[in-house]
């Protein structure tokens, strides 16, 4: 494709700029796309701000500290995003059960070693029952050894709650 060359004089008449009309048209389209992206970004920021305002209003309504703590926890919760999974042919899998099966198969293929199936670890070690119950002093020492800013256990109780809640 041949591009036609045009000459345009700037107002100063000292500089002479050459350009191609096709390139200028593409440049104008790029400016329009940037403007649209900027508008989209502004709208997303407005929506985020409105959502935060709504959450703040909900939190301020609570007089009870426990309810306010739950609302704050929900506000800071990270949203789970469903992973995009593709099959061997490159086709996207959308059914949640199929996604689960594909991920399970992937990790089984990479980490499953059949030669270790017969290995029974800790077979000789039988768990022993406690001879006496834990004392209050032992429990307090164990709680004081807990580190702050750690994840909650399976019961969703944070170490800080145990440590400072007694």
Same domain, 15 and 41: yes
Residue 23 lies in a domain: yes
Global confidence as pTM: 0.33
Residue 24 lies in a domain: yes
Residues 6+ apart with CB under 8 A from 149: 160
Strands (DSSP E) contained in the chain are 6-9, 16-19, 85-86, 92-93
Same domain, 71 and 2: yes
Residue 60 lies in a domain: yes
Give, as one character, the DSSP assignment of residue 11: T
Residue 131 lies in a domain: no
Residue 15 lies in a domain: yes
pLDDT per residue of the chain (166 residues) written in tens, 0 to 9: 444 555 554 555 444 455 678 888 888 899 999 999 999 999 999 998 998 888 777 777 776 777 777 777 777 777 767 668 888 888 888 888 888 888 888 888 888 776 666 656 666 677 778 888 899 999 989 988 988 888 888 888 888 888 887 6
The domain of 2 spans 1-79
Residue 155 lies in a domain: no
């Amino acid at each position: 494709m041949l591009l036609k060359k045009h000459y345009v004089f700037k107002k100063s008449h000292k500089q002479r700029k050459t350009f191609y009309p096709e390139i200028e048209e593409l440049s104008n389209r790029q400016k329009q796309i940037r403007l649209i992206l900027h508008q989209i970004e502004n709208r997303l920021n407005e929506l985020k701000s409105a959502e935060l305002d709504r959450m703040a209003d909900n939190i301020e309504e609570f007089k009870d500290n426990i309810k306010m703590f739950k609302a704050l926890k929900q506000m800071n919760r990270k949203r789970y995003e469903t992973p995009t999974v593709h099959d061997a042919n490159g086709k996207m899998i959308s059914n949640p059960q199929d996604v689960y099966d594909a991920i399970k198969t992937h990790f089984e293929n990479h980490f499953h070693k059949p030669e270790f199936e017969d290995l029974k670890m800790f077979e000789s070690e039988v768990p022993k029952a406690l001879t006496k119950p834990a004392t209050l002093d032992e429990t307090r020492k164990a709680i004081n050894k807990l580190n702050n800013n750690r994840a909650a256990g399976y019961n969703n109780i944070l170490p800080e709650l145990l440590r400072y809640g007694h």
